Amino acid sequence: MNQVRKIIHIDMDAFYASVEQRDNPSLRGKALVVGATPNQRGVVAAASYEARKFGIHSAMPSRIAIAKCPHLIFTRPRFEVYREVSAQIHAIFERYTNLVEPVALDEAYLDVTENKLGLPYASTVARHIRADIFRETNLTASAGVSVNKFLAKMASGANKPNGLTVILPEDAETFVEQLPIEKFHGIGEVTATKMHSLGIRTGTDLKQLKLAKLIHHFGKAGHYYYKIARGQDDRAVEPNRIRKSIGAETSFAKDLSDRTQMLLELEQIAQTVKQRLEQHQTGGRTLTLKVKFSDYQQITRSKTMLSSIKELSAIAYVAKELFEGIELSDVSRQALRVRGFAIDGNRQDCDPLTAPRLRSIRLLGISLSNLDNVQTSQAIQLALFES
């Protein structure tokens, strides 16, 4: 009989913003974001809970954030400080177990099936860790405890900030069944929208779909969705995994149909990638551009350089170069024009100068691989929506 695992997911509360408020008492209780000011055309890296009340979140353009909250305070990121605090926190983890899988500076999975202090319950270990973190850093952390990584991750976000949630094995399926589909870890905004169109709105709905149907609609990811709908996750906690790529992508609430806007969004994504590379203190030789159209067709284009790049200008230049090589014209529409037919089937004179309609885009992404020796133990992953 396999031993039931005891997994903890630790997630620091609004980490970057909380560090700034800790170090500068005048910022406490204020709507604060860490990131570029609006006149720098940057994005929000992190938002305090006071700022989130105005609908502000990480990866939001700074100009939109200030429009939502005119008295918003901007502060520049201090990644060297965040790394130092993260090192303190990870040292605390290692007092309890060597099986620590860093996901970001502020987030990690711990396997405490057998912990160093011999504590009988994973929830007790989580309480000790949270108390140590607060005592030594004056920062709060939320924790989720369960039998696998997926459930632990879901639990850590269930009672933020400064919360502890335990999902027992016998409660796992009930917890998942009641969960809104957009709350599932691993199901993004675009996939959630597609699931809604299929009538999938909760874990119960997802669980009713057979594996074959999930694979039909979602490809290989269907296997993952089938398992998590049943609260199953066989992934082990993997300390010191080698990170293969660093990137960022944005799903748009409204599909983009204007080329200028597409290029502006690429610049914003390139800036986020640049920040992540800077945080990792690395660069990459292969840049990959990801484009998903409104009909869910997805294409990628890659270019490998002779040496690694990490500067914003280089990332943006290569990304735009790849983007310009993608055919954005609505080919089927233009083909009808060339044959002399209007879109509604009526005959019209062929006008070769008529500009074809652009295909609309629902997602853009940029990633760099062939990295300069980065491990997740040193990693920072700036999530698009910070928990």
The catalytic site residues sit at 107
CB under 8 A, 24+ apart: contacts of 316-322: 316/266, 316/267, 316/270, 318/287, 319/266, 319/269, 319/270, 319/287, 319/289, 319/366, 320/263, 320/266, 322/287, 322/289
Look at residues 61, 123, 15 and name the one whose alpha carbon lies nearest to residue 252: 61
Q: Which residues pair with 366 in a beta bridge?
A: 248, 289
* Secondary structure letter of residue 12 according to DSSP: E
* Two tokens, residue 43: 């994005």
Q: Whole-angstrom Cα distance, residue 132 to residue 352?
A: 70
* Two tokens, residue 196: 């809604």
CA angle (309, 372, 315) in 5-degree steps: 20
To the nearest 10°, report the CA torsion of 96, 101, 106, 112.
-30
131 Cβ contact partners less than 8 Å away, ≥ 6 residues apart? none
Rg of the chain on CA atoms, in Å: 23
Residue 101: what residue type?
E
Say if CB 369 and CB 284 are below 8 A apart.
yes
To the nearest 10°, report the CA torsion of 168, 172, 174, 179.
120
Q: Whole-angstrom Cα distance, residue 218 to residue 102?
A: 28
